Structure 1
Amino acid sequence: MKALIRRSAAALLRPLVGGRARLRWTHLILGGALLMPYWLLGTVIVGPLLDADAMFSNSLGLQFGAYAAALPLAAASALFPVVRPLSVAAARALCGIAEGSLADGPARSRAARARTAGWFTLHVGLGGIISGMSLALPPFAVALMVLPLSSELRESRLGMPRVFGHGWVVPLAPLAGILSLVALAACAAASAALLARLAPVLLGPTPSDRLAAAERRAADLAVRNRLARELHDSVGHALSAVTLQAGAARRILDSDAPKDMEFVREALTAIEETTRRTVGELDSVLGLLRQDDDPDADGGAASGPTLDALEGLLARCGVPVTLTVAGDRGTAAVPEPVSREAYRIVQEGLSNALRHGGAAPVTLHVALSTEKLEISMENPLPGAAPAPVGQAAPEPVVQPVVQPVVVRPGGGRGLRGVAERATLLGGHAEAGPDGPLWRLAVTLPLPADGGSLRTRR
């Protein structure tokens, strides 16, 4: 029975004096402290209107008049944008408000500043009342609780109401003192609960705040996608080529009578050159990351490979490539952003051919006109019919690999990345089977005046 009574009492007192209630009470006391400068200024304003000699007296008229004058002053000062992040930080820390329900950053719009002013005025207004009660009621309650034990206190009454001078009321004074403390806790809890309920309304994000947050998320997502494309195209292609060359060299070394040691030497040389080139490209991607973190940093993406480096890519890509070019593909004719993206598109197309077709030959055609840059790649589909009997098969540039490269787990972003790169430049990409071949076709527009073209990030 006693345990049940204790649990019931704890359940009743927890909303009034529990951990959350104490934190919210502290929030109210903070509001009372913030009200003090405005209240003092209010006494200066209201004092001469009442009585110049009683500006700092204990007159209730002066105190409540200064309180009424302080609230508009507090509301006016809360119109500054910096007030909202300070109020949000205090509300989150002391009122237990959920993270996503309050706005971040200064109040920029008129509606946001008006809401912040309303919240700040309510905070300091209720905080001033609860702070005053917290200063006055506890000593009064203690005096009531010891009133039956002190005859001197009963005779002086120290400003107590006249009713406590009657003898029959004295035994009830301790109960009145306890009830006054409970009333103080209840008023503080009710005021804090009101603030906690209104915080998401007055300090929550406005439609303009939500729009700005959505734009920030979109920009962050665009940066992450850009870095993912760069890493996928550079490192992914290098790993596919290295895996292809290493597998071919291992098969020759594992054979009973290895005959073509020269190919093994060439494969190891290709692996060395591919990894060295990839380290440089990785530095470029990391430079891009540093540029996103620091706008003043040197942009790593601007130093990435362009179409001028296409021969080096094709020479050690691990797959025989037949290249045909129409027009000048150098950066003098192609803007640098387009040239970099075109290099990455070719690199990703070769990676797809390596992953799905092994050492099957690839045909690459690059056509440049005054209006657009066209890239098309073709390679046989896996399992395509062999050449007719009596017809010689095309001679590969490098030794064929018996087993195609296994697709890496988590792959599949290749064609999507190609399409994203083309779309960012205002072009388009198409990919799919074309008879016995797999065909990738990309068209990138060029500026009419031959000037620079920036990708839309």
Structure 2
Amino acid sequence: MTPLLGRRARQRWLHLIIGGALLMPYFLVGMVFVGLYRSEGDVFGSPVNQLTAFAYALPMAAVTALVPLARPLSVSAARALCGLPPDRPLADGPARTRQARVRSSAWFTLHVGLGGVISGMTLSLVPFAVAVIGLPFLTARDSPVLRLPAALDRTWVLALAPFAGLAMLVALAGCAAAAGALLANRAPVLLGPTPDDRLAAAERRAAELAVRNRLARELHDSVGHALSAVTLQAGAARRVLDSDPDFVRDALTAIEETTRRTVGELDTVLGMLRRDDHDGAGAPPAPSGPGLDALDGLLAHCGLPVAHTADGDPRTVPAAVSREAYRIVQEGLSNALRHGGRGEPVRLRITVRAGELETVLDSPLSGRPPVVRPGGGRGLRGITERAVLLGGRAEAGEHEGRWRLTARLPFPTPAQEQR
């Protein structure tokens, strides 16, 4: 009896009863139309009139279900009561396209149509079946109202009456279960995501993933660089703590400056995560962070000797390109701290041309095999992503016995912006 009266079957039956209730306003309007051209006094008592009103009601229900908000209401009811399998997702949000509206209208019409039939059967057949089950007890009385017709006043008919009533109830439960299963089977087709819905969902996921990747790059480049610099400087200071107090003093100053700068950058990243309400829900965080104007402070306390040369005016570089260039230099210095040699200074050259910013960072090779860290290796990929997002390119590898990182970031010139 579980398929007919189990929890899922009862929920689907309730879903059909709700569909019948939703059909009633349309059915009553249909009865008004029928009464305009029928001459019978009792319009509601005629089965033909009822079927005609039912036929009028379904097109009206289909038209009203074309509104976009009809789909989320239908989806909510179907998810709660239809017992859908988890691998058959339904669409979220209003129906924006014509295809989605037509599908949701077809679902609503099917729901209220089957619901009207099952609701009518439930309201009429249940009392009738109960009366049939009680026939042997009702005929035992002498009331003329309860007396059966002579054709049915037989012992074997009365003995079979309870079984006939139970069969009617079982048939009703079977019809409700079949109608509920039909709705559950059609729900993913008519209420499932359309190709446009899938495309919109993919775009939303891509935007969310881009924001997450950007935040990961910011944390990796700022906090990762600071931790590498602080670790190396603290280790060097510990080794010469007793023999070179001046070096220890300089190392502690560099650690202090690095941590202070990184705390500010971390606050910026956390501010991107905790956007104010007026920024808009789901809006990407506003870009922020240090640019090339903060490069001197980074080079002074990075833990490495750096020979820096500049060609061109960095102030002509747009803020977004300046920020990405700063992060690229920061990650390049972090790699030099972790993997580079200590015999020669790092060489950094920044060139600003018409419409392009080129950053070249050369660091000595250590001669040791690179240390593989669990979960590491994201720095160079982050540099490439930063360059590609701006329409540029980045490459890194051994060059003339040193490790070279080159990034070229294009930007529009004032003449191009005016076009």
TM-score by length of 2: 0.92
1:343 paired residue number: 326
2:307 paired residue number: 322
Matched, 1:92 2:75: no
* Displacement of 1:303: 3.8
* Displacement of 1:156: 5.9
1:261 paired residue number: 245
Looking at structure 2, the residues matched to 368 and 240 of structure 1 have their Cα atoms a distance apart, in angstroms, of: 29
Whether the 8 Å contact between 2:341 and 2:365 is mirrored in structure 1 is no
Looking at structure 1, the residues matched to 9 and 145 of structure 2 have their Cα atoms a distance apart, in angstroms, of: 33
Aligned pairs (5 A) from 1:305-384:
305-330=290-315, 333-357=316-340, 359=342, 361-383=345-367
Range that drifts further, 292-301 or 320-329:
292-301
Looking at structure 2, the residues matched to 59 and 159 of structure 1 have their Cα atoms a distance apart, in angstroms, of: 26
Matched, 1:38 2:26: yes
Looking at structure 2, the residues matched to 54 and 373 of structure 1 have their Cα atoms a distance apart, in angstroms, of: 87
Pair 161,416 (structure 1): closer, same or farther in 2 beyond 3 Å: farther
Aligned pairs (5 A) from 1:8-23:
13-23=1-11
Give SS of 2:106's match.
Answer: helix
* Displacement of 1:196: 0.7
* Equivalent position to 1:51, from 33, 39, 43: 39
2:176 paired residue number: 188
Q: Residues 318-339 of structure 1, C-alpha deviation per residue, up to 9 Å, x if partnerless?
A: 1111101111122xx1111111
Pair 340,97 (structure 1): closer, same or farther in 2 beyond 3 Å: same
* Equivalent position to 2:267, from 273, 276, 283: 283
Q: Residues 75-103 of structure 1, C-alpha deviation per residue, up to 9 Å, x if partnerless?
A: 00100011111111111111122455211
Looking at structure 2, the residues matched to 367 and 231 of structure 1 have their Cα atoms a distance apart, in angstroms, of: 26
Q: Residues 88-146 of structure 1, C-alpha deviation per residue, up to 9 Å, x if partnerless?
A: 11111111224552111111111111111111000001011111111122221211111
Give SS of 2:303's match.
Answer: coil
* Displacement of 1:68: 1.2
* Displacement of 1:382: 2.0
* Displacement of 1:15: 0.3
Matched, 1:71 2:58: yes
Stretches of structure 2 lacking an aligned partner (at least 5 in a row): none
Looking at structure 2, the residues matched to 72 and 242 of structure 1 have their Cα atoms a distance apart, in angstroms, of: 73
1:429 paired residue number: 394
Pair 127,153 (structure 1): closer, same or farther in 2 beyond 3 Å: farther
Aligned pairs (5 A) from 1:411-430:
411-430=376-395
Whether the 8 Å contact between 1:28 and 1:123 is mirrored in structure 2 is yes
Q: Residues 152-195 of structure 1, C-alpha deviation per residue, up to 9 Å, x if partnerless?
A: 67976779999644443111100001000100100000000101
Pair 280,52 (structure 1): closer, same or farther in 2 beyond 3 Å: farther
- 2:339 maps to a residue whose letter is H
Pair 146,247 (structure 1): closer, same or farther in 2 beyond 3 Å: same
Looking at structure 2, the residues matched to 160 and 87 of structure 1 have their Cα atoms a distance apart, in angstroms, of: 47
* Displacement of 1:431: 0.5
Aligned pairs (5 A) from 1:105-144:
105-144=93-132
Pair 154,341 (structure 1): closer, same or farther in 2 beyond 3 Å: farther
1:396 paired residue number: none
Whether the 8 Å contact between 2:359 and 2:407 is mirrored in structure 1 is yes
* Displacement of 1:411: 1.5
1:395 paired residue number: none
Pair 170,447 (structure 1): closer, same or farther in 2 beyond 3 Å: same
1:439 paired residue number: 404
For the aligned residues, what is the CA RMSD? Answer: 2.6
Stretches of structure 1 lacking an aligned partner (at least 5 in a row): 1-12, 385-403
Pair 159,107 (structure 1): closer, same or farther in 2 beyond 3 Å: farther
TM-score by length of 1: 0.85
Which consecutive segments of 4 or more residues in structure 1 shift more than 3 A? Answer: 152-168, 290-294, 296-303, 404-409, 450-453
Give SS of 2:409's match.
Answer: strand
* Displacement of 1:371: 2.3
* Displacement of 1:291: 4.1
Pair 433,131 (structure 1): closer, same or farther in 2 beyond 3 Å: same
- 2:18 maps to a residue whose letter is L
2:68 paired residue number: 81
* Displacement of 1:365: 0.5
Range that drifts further, 405-414 or 193-202:
405-414
2:161 paired residue number: 173
Matched, 1:231 2:216: no
- 1:265 maps to a residue whose letter is R
1:271 paired residue number: 255
Whether the 8 Å contact between 1:84 and 1:107 is mirrored in structure 2 is yes
Pair 201,146 (structure 1): closer, same or farther in 2 beyond 3 Å: same
* Displacement of 1:407: 6.2
Give SS of 2:314's match.
Answer: coil
Question: Percentage identity across aligned positions?
Answer: 64
